[in-house]
């Protein structure tokens, strides 16, 4: 489209040209559009590549409000980047889907997708149709996944023997900011999952694991509480700080007189009427407290607040109470203590009370922060991971890291098969796919070789981020794997002097590795099939 120009003069008489229709540039379609999409994906891939592995670098992410996040967690980096390009947004969704389904491997899946697209670009330059490339990728991915399952080893563990699970959780934490305390945090993650796991049905209820953070103390003060931690304190400072053998009334009704459920209003015109209303309210308060006492409760946990009069009455009647406890916490307390959530005082009974061996209020350092710890619940499997740290950034990163470790352990409870990390599984799959390429008729053999080269990008990035010569390190491991037929050989990122990942205890869950390959291939296929992007209100040129 030709640009229309107009010559005008400013207030000093100097001429300048106004170009019109510059905003209506020619829309890119076809292979050109596809290459621009690959370029956008490569930008994201190059950003995340340096964060891969135990020696990967961290990113400082500054939010729109100026809040700072330091992390190397792929899903967090992708979410905070907020890219404007449509294809980059698809990469964000890819990291999110890996995080939702598996919980770990979010960086690897984006790096693999970016590498596949980078390889696809060179195939497009050779004149191969994008659909043929995508078909070849899918066939190669199916072969890689099949090979992964053939080299996987089954893990044996029980609630008494958790060494193998701890090693795998430790591998996950090895690439995080908190890796100095990865052994301790891995033990907490394993114990948390096994406390709530149903090993017979291979199921883990994440609702029973709560993660609570509090700034202060050190990271090694992080602990696992066999019970529920609530970020509240007693409603009155003179109420007891610890209650043994607590019979808990869990209420979703407020300590307030009932309000008329109509639009009518009540006018109080005399002092006598006001006194009657006050007496009525006091009588209702006393009735509510008596109903709780009659049920046998010695602690009240209420979802709503109550005023000073009700609070003072509760103190007088020696009935400790906690107010403004949120809905999720109320549900978790009910599950943990075996109690029922009661919506009306009239429905309270002894059978609906929860029980806890101990409910105590704990305080932190010199701050006035207090929390309630509910422990010793006989019918409960609910646990709380209580994370401490020197500042908010460390605490937030520790929370993300422990979440990843818990997800990995959960995956192993569901499917106990494992493959070896350090790029060992990727190199092994790359060797198999490259070997199969020679036997594939047609143009798909180019896709097979490209897929094999893309799989090698992960061990290359691991070696590069660890300060090794990437090509030399990966070539050596690749040659040794073929010669020794040993799929456990990977990149020695920690410089321990051995490439055997079994000796280094660097292990990954099979379910996570398989999902990385499948999700990355699906996304790349989707991107390769896009040849045009239409924006709202856009007109044809």
Active site residues: 73, 106-107, 404
Task: Choose among 201, 197, 202, 168: nearest CA to 185.
Answer: 168
CA distance 196 to 206: 8
DSSP 8-state code for residue 57:
P
Strands, E assignment, 58-202: 59-62, 68-71, 153-154, 197-198
The burial of 362, by beta-carbon neighbours within 10 Å (0-12 exposed, 13-18 middle, 19 or more buried), is given as middle
CA distance 26 to 33: 12
**Phi and psi of 305, rounded to 5°?**
-90, 175
The dihedral through the CA atoms of 297, 302, 306, 308 has a sign that is: positive
Q: Name 38's Cβ contacts closer than 8 Å, sequence gap at least 6.
A: 87, 117, 118, 120, 121, 527
Q: Name 257's Cβ contacts closer than 8 Å, sequence gap at least 6.
A: 280, 281, 284, 285
Decide if 168 contacts 409 (C-beta within 8 A).
Answer: yes
**Phi and psi of 245, rounded to 5°?**
45, 60
The dihedral through the CA atoms of 177, 179, 185, 189 has a sign that is: positive
Compute the residue count for the chain: 541
Using only C-alpha atoms, the chain has a radius of gyration, in whole angstroms, of 31
Q: In sequence order, what DSSP letters do the residues of 350-417 get, joined into one string?
A: GGG-EEEEEEEEEE-TTS--EEEEEE--TT---EEEEEEESSHHHHHHHHHHHHHHHHHHHHHHH--E
CA distance 141 to 521: 7
Task: Choose among 70, 99, 359, 401: nearest CA to 222.
Answer: 401
């Amino acid at each position: 489209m030709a640009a229309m120009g107009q010559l005008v003069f400013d207030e000093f008489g100097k001429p300048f040209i106004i170009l019109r229709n510059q905003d209506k540039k020619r829309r890119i379609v076809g292979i050109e559009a596809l290459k621009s999409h690959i370029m956008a994906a490569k930008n994201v891939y190059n950003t995340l590549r340096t964060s891969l592995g135990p020696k990967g670098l961290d990113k400082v992410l500054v939010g729109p409000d100026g809040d700072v996040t330091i992390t190397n967690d792929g899903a967090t980096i992708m979410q905070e980047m907020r890219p404007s390009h449509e294809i980059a947004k698809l990469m964000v969704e890819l990291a999110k889907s890996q995080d939702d389904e598996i919980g770990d491997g979010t960086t690897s899946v984006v790096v693999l997708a970016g590498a596949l697209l980078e390889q696809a670009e060179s195939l497009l330059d050779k004149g191969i149709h994008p659909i043929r490339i995508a078909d070849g990728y899918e066939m190669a991915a199916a072969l890689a996944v099949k090979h992964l399952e053939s080299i996987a080893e089954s893990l044996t563990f029980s609630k008494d023997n958790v060494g193998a699970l701890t090693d795998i959780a430790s591998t996950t934490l090895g690439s995080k900011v908190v890796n100095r305390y990865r052994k301790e945090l891995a033990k907490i993650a394993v114990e948390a999952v096994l406390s709530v796991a149903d090993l017979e049905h291979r199921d883990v209820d994440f609702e029973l694991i709560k993660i609570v953070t509090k700034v202060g103390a050190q990271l090694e003060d992080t602990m696992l509480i066999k019970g529920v931690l609530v970020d509240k304190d007693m409603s009155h400072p003179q109420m007891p700080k610890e209650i043994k053998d607590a019979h808990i009334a869990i209420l979703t009704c407020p300590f307030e007189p009932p309000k008329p459920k109509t639009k009518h209003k009540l006018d109080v015109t005399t002092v006598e009427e006001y006194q009657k209303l006050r007496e009525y309210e006091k009588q209702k308060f006393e009735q509510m407290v008596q109903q709780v006492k009659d049920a046998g409760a010695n602690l009240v946990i209420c979802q709503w607040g109550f005023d000073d009069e009700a609070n003072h009455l509760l103190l007088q009647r020696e009935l400790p109470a906690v107010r403004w406890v949120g809905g999720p916490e109320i549900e978790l307390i009910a599950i943990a203590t075996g109690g029922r959530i009661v919506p009306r005082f009239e429905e309270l009974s002894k059978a609906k009370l929860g029980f806890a061996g101990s409910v105590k209020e704990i305080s932190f350092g010199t701050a006035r922060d207090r929390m309630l710890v509910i422990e010793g619940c006989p019918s409960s499997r609910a646990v709380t991971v209580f994370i401490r740290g020197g500042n908010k950034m460390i605490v937030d990163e520790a929370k993300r890291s422990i979440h990843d470790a818990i997800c990995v352990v959960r995956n192993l409870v569901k499917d106990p098969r494992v493959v070896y990390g350090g790029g060992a599984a990727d190199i092994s799959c790359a060797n198999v796919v490259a070997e199969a390429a020679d036997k594939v008729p047609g143009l798909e053999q180019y896709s097979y070789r490209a897929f094999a080269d893309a799989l090698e990008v992960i061990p290359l990035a691991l070696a590069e981020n660890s300060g090794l010569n990437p090509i030399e390190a990966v070539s050596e491991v690749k040659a040794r794997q073929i010669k020794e037929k040993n799929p456990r050989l990977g990149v020695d990122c920690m410089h321990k002097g051995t490439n055997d990942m079994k000796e280094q205890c660097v292990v990954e869950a099979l379910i996570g590795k398989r999902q990385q390959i499948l999700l990355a291939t699906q996304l790349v296929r989707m991107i390769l099939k896009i040849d045009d992007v239409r924006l709202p209100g856009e007109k044809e040129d």
